[in-house]
Amino acid sequence: MHEFFNFYEGHLNNVVFYYAVIIMSSYVLLAVLSSLELKMYMRKNSYVNYRDILASPLAPSISILAPAYNEEASIIDNVRSLPRNRRKIEVS
């Protein structure tokens, strides 16, 4: 009976070890594929100037909803701190 448990304990240890190796290998593979995709994305978008696109009169407006519950004392400073680099910003 003792041999039986030793046999299955050894196999269970191997199964857990190989399962952990497979999981860690999949995470490493995902990290490598993600870094390659990020390089391709950055290379593709390196010639795009997003500030020019945002400054275009054809760009759509942006609405910002800022939660302000019980903020009577600081609401003016909070609204002024929102991004104002575009002409078409609506703050509600």
Q: What is the pLDDT of residues 6-22, one digit of tens each?
A: 777 778 888 999 999 99
Residues 29, 82: Cα–Cα separation, whole Å: 40
DSSP state of 74: T
Domain ranges of the chain: 1-48, 54-92
pTM of the predicted model over 0.85 = no
Predicted confidence (pLDDT) per residue in 50-91, tens digit:
778 777 788 777 777 777 777 778 877 877 776 666 566 666
List, as one string, the DSSP characters of 3-49. HHHHHHHHHHHHHHHHHHHHHHHHHHHHHHHHHHHHHHHHHHTTT--
Residues paired with 64 in a beta bridge = 91
